[in-house]
Amino acid sequence: MGEMEDFTMLDVCLLGTSGMMPLPRRALTALMTRFNGSSLLIDCGEGTQVSIREKGFSMHAIDTICLTHVHGDHVSGLPGLLLSMGNAERTERLTIIGPKGMKKVVESLLVVAPGLPFEIEYIELTESFHRFEICGYILEAFRVKHTVPCYGYSQIIQRAGRFDSEKAKANDVPMKVWSSLQKGKTVDWEGKTYTPDMVMGSPRKGIKVTYCTDTRPTRSIEENAAHADLFICEGMYGEPDKQQKAREHKHMTFYEAANLAKAAEVSQMWLTHYSPSLPWPDQYLPQVTKIFPNAITAKDGQTIELDFEEENQTAFQIREQSGKDDKDEKTK
C-alpha cells in the first residue's frame, strides 16, 4: 500500500537584504515563501512589490502577510502591494499578522489605497508566543527585543509518519479503511471509530525556516530557531567596532547572529538586513564562518528549495542567486 502523499518543496526567497532604506542595488529586507499553492510574505517595505515582480512571483497567491514590527522600512510598501493585488482582481480575504497596534498603522497607510476588493483580517500579537495553522503549514510567532514590539517567525511543514501495516493489524483495523486513515481521515466503520494514529508510525522530520530581524540576541530566538533547516537572521553590522552601536539601537552584529545559529544548532544561516553603511558584507564572512561554518551573507533574490529529508539529510537546493552584486553598490 502506498504512502500518504507529501506536499514537498518549500520555496524560500529573500527578496531584499537592506536595512533602514533601499539602495540602488539592494532592496529592503523581506521574505517570501511558497508552499502548496500558498504564498507567505514577511515584511513589506518600500519597493517590495518590485522585488516580487523581478522574481516572477504571483502577488495574487499571497494569502498571509506577517509583519515583524511597524517601522517604515518593514511596512511602507503595503499600500502599493495591496493596490496591485486589487488591480489583479483579487477577491479572496488577506490575513495580516503583526504586533499589537499594527492594525492602526496599516489602516493609516491604506488611506491612500481605498476601495480594495478584498477583506483584510488583522491578527495582532500580544503574547510572547503564538501558533497558527495556515494553508497546510504551522506558523509560529515569538517575541524578540527591539526598540518597538517586534516578533520573529518560524514556518514549519510537518510530515506524517509512514503507514505501518503491522500496527494496523495489531489494532484490528479493517483493510477497507486503511486508505482513508492514511490520508489523515477518521473513519466510522461497522460501529467502531478508527483514527489515523492506529495505522501510522511516528511523525518524521519536516521542514522548518526561522526568520528574525531588528532585534538583539535573545533566548527566544535560540529556542524557536532550534534545529531549523534554514535560519534567516539580521546582521546589521559586520564591523567589529559596531558592537556598542548594535546594543544601543537594538540590532545584531554578524558575530552575534553566528553565535545564535551555533547555539540553536540550525542547518544553515543566511545573514540579511545590512546597514546602508555596509557596502560589502562578504568581507566579514570569514570571521562569521569561524563561529558557524554553514553561513552566508545573503544577496537580494537568494532562493532555496527545501525538501523533506532523505537518509537523514535535508535536501538543500540553492536554485538561484540574484545577479545583484554588492560591489556595484554605492553607499555612504
- Report pLDDT digits (tens) over 150-192: 999 999 998 878 888 888 889 988 988 888 888 888 999 888 9
How much is the pLDDT for 302?
97
Same domain, yes or no, for 93 and 111? yes
CA distance linking residue 214 with residue 273, whole number of Å: 8
pLDDT range class, residue 64, cuts 50, 70, 90: very high
Domain membership flag for residue 259: no
Same domain, yes or no, for 73 and 98? yes
Domain membership flag for residue 121: yes
Domain membership flag for residue 4: no
The DSSP letter of residue 33 is E
CA distance linking residue 44 with residue 252, whole number of Å: 21
Tell me the average pLDDT across 56-75: 95
Terminal CA-to-CA distance of the chain, rounded, Å?
63
pLDDT range class, residue 34, cuts 50, 70, 90: very high
Domain membership flag for residue 125: yes
Give yes or no for residue 5 having a pLDDT over 90.
no
Q: What is the DSSP string of 290-321?
A: HH-SSEEE--TTEEEEEEEEETTEEEEEEEE-
From the number of C-beta atoms within 10 Å of its C-beta (0-12, 13-18, 19+), residue 169 rates as exposed
Same domain, yes or no, for 107 and 234? yes
Same domain, yes or no, for 185 and 294? no
**Model's pTM, two decimal places?**
0.85
Least-confidence region, from 43-52, 62-71, 321-330: 321-330
Same domain, yes or no, for 146 and 225? yes
Q: Are 108 and 121 in contact, with CB atoms under 8 Å apart?
A: no
Same domain, yes or no, for 120 and 171? no
Same domain, yes or no, for 219 and 75? yes
Domain range for 245: 10-160+203-253+268-324
Same domain, yes or no, for 197 and 208? no
| Residue from 174, 199, 172 nearest 184 by CA | 199
- Identify the CATH number of the domain in which residue 233 sits: 3.60.15.10
Same domain, yes or no, for 98 and 172? no
Domain membership flag for residue 262: no
Same domain, yes or no, for 106 and 239? yes
How much is the pLDDT for 320?
43
Give yes or no for residue 324 having a pLDDT over 80.
no
Active site residue 307: no
Choosing from 43, 73, 300, 326, the catalytic residue is 73
Same domain, yes or no, for 115 and 249? yes
How much is the pLDDT for 310?
65
Q: Note the helical H segments in the chain.
A: 48-54, 72-75, 78-87, 102-109, 165-170, 178-182, 219-224, 243-249, 254-264, 285-291
Domain membership flag for residue 82: yes
CA distance linking residue 287 with residue 310, whole number of Å: 32
Least-confidence region, from 79-93, 154-168, 271-285: 154-168
Same domain, yes or no, for 187 and 77? no
How much is the pLDDT for 222?
97
User: Domains in the chain: how many in total?
Assistant: 2
